[in-house]
Chains A and B, each alone.
Chain A
Amino acid sequence: MRKTVFLGTVAVAGMAAGMAAATTLEDVKARGSLNCGVNTGLVGFASPNANGEWEGFDVGVCRAVAAAVLGDPTAIQFVPTTGKTRFTALASGEIDVLARNTTWTFSRDTDLKFEFVGINYYDGQGFMVPKELGVTSAKELGGATICIQTGTTTELNLADYFRKNNMDYEPVPIETDNEAQQQYLAGACDAYTTDASGLAAVRATFENPSDHVILPEIVSKEPLGPLVRHGDSEWGDIVRWTLNALVAAEELNISSANVKELAEAGTDNPEMNRLLGTEGNLGEMIGLESDWAVNAIAAAGNYGELFEKNIGENTPIGLARGLNAQWTEGGLIYSPPFR
C-alpha cells in the first residue's frame, strides 16, 4: 500500500504539470500577469530592492517580456527559484519563463526539454580567493578546499578542470549562495567558485571587496539566457524576439528615453521603423500588438542600458562589457535582423 501512496503523491504533482494545456500566451493574457522565475537574490541580476521591488539584469528581461505581451512592465509575479527548483518550476508550468542566470547546455536543451531563447550574458566560471593567500592562478589551487553552490553546472566544470590539470581538491557543496559565502569568509574554504559575474556580484556585497581577488582563469563557457518549455514555439518566439529587440535597440541607438518619441515621429531608418511598429506588421506576425517592442524597450531600457544600470562598471558589481559588448564593438551580442 505504501508504494501506491508514493505513486499517488507523485501523480498529483504530475497532474499539476498537465494543467497548462492552453498556449502559454493565452494563459498569460488570461491571467493578466507573467510568472517569471528569477534568482532568490543575486545582487545585480535579480534581487528585491529596499522597497521590495525586484530589480536586476535578469529582472529587466522579465519586465520587457511582460511589457511586450501585456503592455505593463509591472504585471509580473516573480517566483524566486533555487538552482535546484528552477527546472521543476518551469517544467510544471509554475512559471512561464525562467530568467535566472541559467547556463545553456546541450542536455538541458534536449534531455530536460527546454528551449533556450537566446543568450543575455556570456559568462564563464572563475575562482575567488582571499588576497592574503597570495594565489595568482587557479593552477596553484591543488589541494585547496573549494566552496561551491550545488545544483549547477559549476560542480561538473570544477571536477573537469581539476581532473584535466591533475590536481586534488576538496569540494564543499553548499545549498545556497549565502551560506557558501559565509563559509568562504570564515576561511572554511580557500576559494569560492561560481560564474565570474556571480563572483563580482558577491564580492560587491563583502565588507572589504578589495581583500579578495578573482583569478584570471575562466574554466568554462557559461552562456546565460532565459528559457521556456519545449513545445510552445509561439511563446518561445515572443521571448526570443523580445530579447533580440533589446539588443537591436542598443545597436540602433534606441533607448528608453527616446523610444516613444521615435515611435511617434517615425524615422528614416526602415529597420528602426519595423522594430517600432510604424512600418510593416512584425507585431501581427508574432501575435502581439504593433507597439510590443516599444513597450519592451520603454520598460527597462535597451540591452546596454540594462547592463549599465544593473551590473555595469559604475555599479558596485563593476563588470566590464567584454564579450557582452555589441558585435560592432568587438563583442558577441548580436541580434538577427528585424525583417
Chain B
Amino acid sequence: MTTLSDPPRESFRLSMLLNDTRYRSYTLQFIALVLLLLLFGYLASNLVTNLADQGQNISYKFLGEPAGYDINQRPIPYDSQSTHMRAAIVGVLNTLIVSVLGCITATILGVLAGVARLSPNWLLRKLMSVYVEIFRNIPVFIWILIIFAIMAAAMPAPRAFRGEDPEASPLFGIIALTNRGVYIPKPILENGSGIVFAVFLLSIVGVFFYRRYARNLLFNTGKLLPTFWPTLGILFLPALLVYFALGMPIGWEIPELKGFNFQGGVQIRGSLIALWLALGIYTGAFVAENVRAGIQAVSAGQTEAAAALGLRPRRIMNLVILPQALRVIIPPLISQYLNLTKNSSLAIAVGYMDITGTLGGITLNQTGRAIEAILLLMLFYLAISLGISAIMNAYNNAMKLKER
C-alpha cells in the first residue's frame, strides 16, 4: 500500500540565499542596492565635509532676503525689494507661461504638418517634409537666437514710430510691432462687462450642447447637421449682441508711444516671442513625425472601409483615423511636452526671465548659493515634468483602446 504525501518542506536555511536560484537574484540585488546607497552616501558626506572645509554650509535662508534686482516680465507684483523666493516664483510662472504657449503651438503645428505630410497634394507634402527636416535637425538654441536676432534687426525700433511722418506705423492703428516686442490693445473692463463674459461662457456651453445634439441626431437618424458655421455663430453672436446692447462696456487701451517706449496696452516681449516661436516650431516638427507615425499605424484598410461607406476624406481623418491614431500619438507626445518644458531653460540666451534666469541665474550669482539654488531648480523641473506626465497619462488612459 502506498500513501500519497507532500514532499517534505525544506526549512529555509541561510545558505539558500546563495545556493538556491529562487533567492540568489534577490541576494545579489540587495547587495548591489546597499553598495549603491553607500556610494551615494559617501559622495553626499564628502560634499558636506568639503563645504564645511571651505567654511560654507547648505542654507536656504537667502530665499527670505530682498532680491535687489528687477524683472521685466512680472505675472505677479514684484519689485527689487521683494524676496528671492518671490523672484523664483515669478520665474516659475514665466517658465509655465512659455511652456504652455509653446506646447499649444507645437501641438497645432504638429498635427497640421503631420496630416499634411500624408496629403496627396505633392507640393504640400514636400513643403511639410522640408519644415520637419529643417527644424528638427538644427538645435533649438540656434532657432531661439535666430528668431531673436531677426526680430531685433527686422522690426522697427519704437523711435521709428515718432514724428510727423514716421517710418513705421502701428498695424491697423492698434498693434505696434517693434523690435522690443509686440504691443497689443488691453481690454478695459467697465460696468456690464461681466454680463458680456457670462453670455460668452454660456455660448461655450451652448456649443457643446449643439454638438452633442448634432452627434446624437447623426447616430440616431443618420441626418448630418452642419457644425462649423453654427458653432461660430453660437460662440460669438450672442456675446456681440449683448456687447452692443449694453453700450460697449469693454473699452480698449491702445498702446501709444510715450517717451522711450509704447505705453499702455499689453506688451508681448521680444524674448517671449522668440522663445515661444522657436520652442513651438521646433517641437512641432517632432510632433508632426509622431502624428504621421500614428496615422500610418492605422491600417490602410480602415481608410478604404470608411471610403466604401461613403465618408469624405476629411471625415475619414476626423472620425476614423485620428481617434485610432491618438493612442499611438499620445505617449511620445508626452515626452515632447516634457522636452519643450525643459528646453525653455534656454530662455537666458535671450534674456527671458524664467526660473533658470531668476533663481538659477541672478539669485545664484548674487548670493553665491550655487548648490542650494541648483537643487531647488532641479526639484522644480522634476515637479513640473512629473506633473505634465501625470496629466498626459490621465488623458492617455481616457483615450486608449477600451477593451470590452
Contacts and interface: CB of A to CB of B under 8 A. Distances in A.
A158 B71 CA distance: 12
Nearest to A169: B70
A170 B362 contact: no
A163 interface: yes
Contact of B72 (A172, A186, A187): A172
A319 B373 CA distance: 39
B349 A175 contact: yes
A230 B55 contact: yes
B179 A182 contact: no
Contacts of A169: 70
Interface string B164-180: 00000000000000011
A96 to B, nearest CB: 16
B49 to A, nearest CB: 8
B219 interface: no
A10 B374 contact: yes
A159 B68 contact: yes
Contact of B152 (A83, A91, A160, A186): A186
B80 interface: yes
Given A151-B361, A151-B365, A190-B260, A182 B149 contact: yes
A40 interface: no
Interface in A73-122: 83-84, 87-88, 91, 107-108, 111-113
B238 interface: no
A15 B46 contact: yes
Interface in B46-81: 46-47, 49-51, 53-56, 68-72, 79-81
Contacts of B159: 133, 187
Nearest to A5: B40
Interface string B142-164: 00000001001100010100000
A155 B157 contact: no
A158 B47 contact: no
Interface string B346-379: 0011110100010001101111101100110010
B18 interface: no
Contacts of A160: 68, 80
A18 B50 contact: yes
A88 B374 CA distance: 13
A11 interface: yes
Interface stretch (A55-63, A140-148, A245-253): A140-148
A150 interface: yes
A18 B46 contact: yes
A7 interface: yes
A264 to B, nearest CB: 45
A249 to B, nearest CB: 35
Interface in B251-302: 258-261, 263, 270-271
Contacts of B366: 107, 156
A55 B260 CA distance: 39
A215 to B, nearest CB: 14
A10 B375 contact: yes
Nearest to A18: B50
A257 interface: no
Contacts of A285: none
A14 interface: yes
A4 B55 contact: no
B25 to A, nearest CB: 19
A152 B54 CA distance: 23
Nearest to B267: A170
B160 to A, nearest CB: 8
Nearest to A155: B69
A288 interface: no
A170 B375 contact: no
B70 A15 contact: no
Given A6-B375, A143-B258, A171 B70 contact: yes
* Max chain B Cβ within 10 angstroms of own Cβ: one of A8, A17, A175, A182: A8
A62 to B, nearest CB: 23
A173 B50 contact: no
A152 B260 CA distance: 25
A145 B40 contact: no
A133 B162 CA distance: 12
A15 B69 contact: no
A243 to B, nearest CB: 24
A113 B260 contact: no
B43 interface: yes
B44 interface: yes
Contacts of B39: 8
A215 B37 CA distance: 59
A265 interface: no
Most buried by A among B69, B71, B149, B370: B69
Nearest to A135: B260
B382 interface: yes
Nearest to B366: A156
Contacts of B258: 143
Contact of B260 (A145, A171, A186): A145
B256 to A, nearest CB: 12
A188 interface: yes
Contacts of B40: 4-5, 7-8, 11
A172 B44 contact: no
A143 B261 contact: yes
7 contacts: A8-B39, A8-B40, A15-B46, A18-B49, A151-B365, A173-B357, A182-B152
Given A150-B365, A159-B68, A187-B159, 9 more contacts: A14-B50, A84-B364, A108-B368, A171-B72, A175-B351, A186-B157, A188-B152, A188-B270, A230-B55
Q: Which 10 A-B pairs have the closest CB atoms?
A: A187-B157, A11-B43, A14-B47, A159-B80, A11-B47, A186-B152, A18-B50, A143-B259, A112-B368, A4-B40
